[in-house]
Structure 1
Amino acid sequence: MQYEGSLSLEKLDKIAEIKDSRLILAIDIGVLEEYSLATEETKIVSLLGLLKDYVVGVKFGLPTIISLGYDKVKSIVKKFSDEYYFIADLKIADVPFITLKTCEIVKSMGFNAAIIHLFTQSIHEIKHRLDEMKLATIGVLTMSHNCPIIEKNFEELLEYAIKASVDGVVIGATKPEYIRKFKGKCNNVKVFAPGIICQGGKPGESLKAGADYEIVGRAIVQASSPFEAAKYIVELEREVTHG
């Protein structure tokens, strides 16, 4: 069975084409503690201004969203909405009603996509509402760390991803065999691969397995030079994408 995906990731694909990059920045923890900047918000704004030539998307994790709060997150997303595709990584795992309400808040902050767990099997009941609000759905198929309870149910989760018509999936960069298996059934659905560098994934390797985007966090935000770190990763990715 081939599920062709939706059009809700077109903005991301367009930015990736313009920048010739597959790099998504994960901001999950404190940013640039060495910088003598006043606030975490200012640090993130500075970082995003610095990396816009190489990074195509920004994934805000739960710690960042909670610590900054609604208004500051919304302000940052609005400021850079033309430069980046914004993903809310809440890994939502709840009943359909609460999942929808959470996604409505996410959308009101300006996010383009939300990461939602597949194992709760809530997405298919609300997918039409998410499509109406133009919020892309990215389902978690595997984590980037060792998580046997999810991996042993990979096939069932894959079939549910197809049933729910998700727009993309998360598969750890450390699990290339799962990326290949998914692409064998859903070649046109985007794969987002986290776990690059700090969790063992090598830049570009998940792209070789079939992933569409690589997610990198600490290796950039905690680097002595985030710009050089992002540039280095994108150069390795281009060796793959350019053949």
Structure 2
Amino acid sequence: MSIFSEKLGKIAQENESRIVLALDLSLSSKEKDFKKKLLEKAQKVLNDVRDHVAGIKINFQLLLPLGLFDELRFLIQTTTSYGIPLIMDCKLNDVEHTNEWTARHIFDAGFGALIANPFVGFRGGLDSVFSVAEEYGGGVILLVYMSHSGADEGYGQRVIYENDFRWQYEVFAEKAKSWGAEGVVVGATQPKIIERVSQILDGKIPIFSPGIGFQGGLISEAFRAGTSYAIVGRTIYQSENPKKSAKEIKDKINEVIR
């Protein structure tokens, strides 16, 4: 178990929460002082929900305008000071040397884990990412099945694997085990796939599920199928009261898992 997984489990227990907040706030770059406004908005949401989440996930909506070692570092420092683990949702998917330096920069910046796409493969692809993650005590979370409607075009394909026809997501779930992933992503919009992936992982690797709320995923279906953590974004940060919304979602999840 990585340092990232230990921290995630610790905060999840302390805050009694299985929520990873997707802090995917965005503002037009044409707006005056948009970087300052974006950072202030993100900081406010973080401060509001800090006691009701287990982790924070950051995507390109903040990474691109704020910069990994520029304004974004202030948000990273705040999150780290709260003891909340950070996940970079870069869906890393490149060749070995590019992946290595991308991962190294991400972990140097203060992230505890990153999300990678297993389509690129291990040898000459993600092998360097897993090596760097181990060096930093970080985690690699693999995309097994996404939450949007077109995910079946890739992750839902039937493929030939070890002389047999398999679903692509089943193959990726098995690779998560053999590669030593610290988590997998399966959309909350696909409870049957969550259940199948959970069977393959045998409870040894946590499942992170985006898509609850705006994309139609249901807390009850996802967690009963085997979800470990709900990745929730717009339902919380677009709410008039993010703190209240986060607590309500946390309580609903706890009702199901208890």
TM-score, normalising length: structure 1: 0.90
* Alignment partner, residue 63 of structure 2: 65
Q: Which amino acid aligns with 2:198?
A: K
> Residue 156 of structure 2 is aligned with which of 147, 151, 155?
151
Q: Name the one with the larger helix percent.
A: 2
- Please give the secondary structure, in 2, of the residue aligned with 1:20: coil
- Please give the secondary structure, in 1, of the residue aligned with 2:54: strand
- Please give the secondary structure, in 1, of the residue aligned with 2:80: coil
Q: Structure 1: how far apart are the matches of 2:219 and 2:66? A: 29
Runs of 4+ residues over 3 Å off in structure 1 = 5-8
CA 234–20 in structure 1, closer or farther in 2 if over 3 Å, else same: same
- Give the structure, 1 or 2, with the largest relative contact order (CA under 8 Å, sep 6 or more): 1
Shift of 1:73: 1.5
* Structure with max Cα Rg: 2
Q: Does 1:76 align with 2:97?
A: no
The CA RMSD over aligned residues, in Å, is 1.9
CA 45–96 in structure 1, closer or farther in 2 if over 3 Å, else same: same
* Alignment partner, residue 34 of structure 1: none
Q: Does 1:137 align with 2:152?
A: no
Equivalent residues in 2 for 1:1-243, closer than 5 Å: 8-30=4-26, 39-70=37-68, 71-83=70-82, 84-121=84-121, 122-146=125-149, 147-148=151-152, 149-152=154-157, 153-186=168-201, 187-242=203-258
- Please give the secondary structure, in 2, of the residue aligned with 1:119: helix
Show structure 1 runs of 5+ residues with no match: 32-36
TM-score, normalising length: structure 2: 0.85
**What does the per-residue CA deviation read over 1:35-76, in whole Å, with 9 as the maximum and x for residues that have no partner?**
xx9521111111111111111211001121111112222221
**What does the per-residue CA deviation read over 1:95-118, in whole Å, with 9 as the maximum and x for residues that have no partner?**
122111111111111011100001
What is the percentage of aligned positions where both structures have the same residue?
30
Shift of 1:123: 2.2
Aligned residue pairs total: 234
Show structure 2 runs of 5+ residues with no match: 28-34, 158-167
